[in-house]
Amino acid sequence: MPTISFDGQEITFEPGQTIIEAAMASDLYIPHLCWHPDFPPHGSCKLCSVKVNGRICSACTFPAAEGQEVVSSSEEVRQLRLRLTQMLFVEGNHFCPSCEKSGQCELQAMGYYLGMTDNHYPHFFPVRDIDASHPHVLLDRDRCIFCELCVRASRADGKNVFELAGRGIHTRLVVDSPSGKLGDSNLDVNDRAAHICPVGAIVVKETAFRIPIGQRKYDRRTIAEVSVAEEAPLLRKRYEQKED
C-alpha cells in the first residue's frame, strides 16, 4: 500500500483517500469542524489545514499521494488553527457559560484543545435572527459557523431544509419554507439535519442541561479523543460498505 509521512510517521492510505481520511484510518486526529465521515467533504472551516510538502492545504479535501510529507502538529499549524477558531468565535455571538451546548460543543472543545484563552480579535457582535417556530427544534443563528453540515445532512435526508444565503461576512443560514421559518419547513426532529450541528445553532428543544457537568461529551475527553473514538469507526464502516 502507498504511504505518506504524517508528522514524521509513515502511514498507509488507499488511493482516492483524502489526507484526513488516511489519518483517521490510522486513528490520527486532525482538527476539523465542517468535515464529517458521513458526508462529502466541504473544506470551508479550514481547521484541518496541514502543511503538505511545505504548502498549506485542507486535509479534508486534498488527496493523499505517495511520498507526501504532511505536517499537522507543528506550533505554526497549531497557531493557525487557534486563530481560525478565534475568528469563528468573534464573528458570531458565542456565550459559552449560558449556552446549552456547552460541554458538548465542538467549537468550544476546539478552543480548549488548541489552548485558546481569549478571543484575540475584536468581537463583531452581528445581529442575527433566532427562530423558535419549530415545535421541537431551535435555530439560534448567533452560534452558526457556516459549516453547512445541516445543509448536507438535509440533502441526504432528501429534504433540503437548510441553505446558505447572503455573501461574505453577511452569510446566513436560511430555511426552506414559504415564510423562511423552521416551523413551516418539513424538518422532522428525527432528521439527521436536526442532530448534526457541531455547535449550538440547531438544537433539539427540551433536552437542554439534562447531562450533568462532568458527564458531558467533552468534560473528560478532548475533541481529539472523542473524534478518534467516534468518527474513525464511522469512516471504517463507510469503507466496509464500499467494499461490499
Partner 1 sequence: MEIDTAESLDAVAAVVDKAVSQHGTRPQHLLAVLRQIQKDCHYLPKQALQSVARRFSLPLARVVGVAEFYGFLHTQPRGEYDIYFSDCVIDVFHDSEALMQRLCHRLRLQPGAVRGDRRVSIDTTSCTGLCDQGPALLVNGWPVPRLTPTLMDAMADHIERRVPVTQWPAEWFLIEDHLCRHDLLLNTPWRPGTGLKNALRQGVGWLLEQLTASGLRGRGGAGFPTARKWQFCRETPGDHYVVCNADEGEPGTFKDRELLKHYADQVFEGMTLAAFVTGARLGFLYLRGEYECLLRPLQAALRQRRCLGLLGRNLCGLMDFHFDIEIVVGAGAYICGEESALLNSIEGLRPHPRNRPPYPVTCGLWNQPTVVNNVESFAAASLIAVHGGEWFAKVGTEKSKGTKLLSISGDCARPGIYEVPFGITVAEVLGLCGSGETLGVQVGGPAGTFVAPSDYQRRIAYEDLGTGGSFMVFGSHRDIIDIATRFAQFFAHESCGFCTPCRVGTSLQLRLMEKIRRGWATAGDIQELESLKQLLEASHCGLGHTAHNPVQHTLAHYPGHYQARLRDLDFSPGFDLDNELETARQLTGRFGDHLRQV
Which residues bind to partner 1, rule: CB under 8 A?
Answer: 41, 43-47, 49, 56, 58, 61, 63, 80, 83-84, 87-88, 90-91, 121-122, 124, 145-146, 160-171, 174-178, 180
Q: How far is the CB of 45 from partner 1 (least distance, A)?
A: 5
Q: What is the DSSP string of 155-215?
A: HHTT---EEEES-GGG-EEEE-STTS-GGGS---TTSGGGT--SSSSEEETT-TT-SPTTS
Euclidean distance between CA atoms 54 and 100, whole angstroms: 40
Q: How far is the CB of 191 from partner 1 (least distance, A)?
A: 15
Indicate left, alpha or beta for 112 from its phi (over 0: left) and psi (-120 to 50: alpha): alpha
- Which three cell numbers, joined as nine digits, stand for 27? 486513528
Rank residues 124 and 209 by Cβ distance to partner 1 and give the closer one. 124
Rank residues 165 and 211 by Cβ distance to partner 1 and give the closer one. 165
Rank residues 26 and 63 by Cβ distance to partner 1 and give the closer one. 63
Q: Report the helix count and the strand count for the chain, using DSSP H and E.
A: 5, 10
Helical axes 106-113 vs 223-243, angle rounded to 10°: 120
Q: How far is the CB of 107 from partner 1 (least distance, A)?
A: 11
Q: How far is the CB of 244 from partner 1 (least distance, A)?
A: 26
Rank residues 159 and 195 by Cβ distance to partner 1 and give the closer one. 159
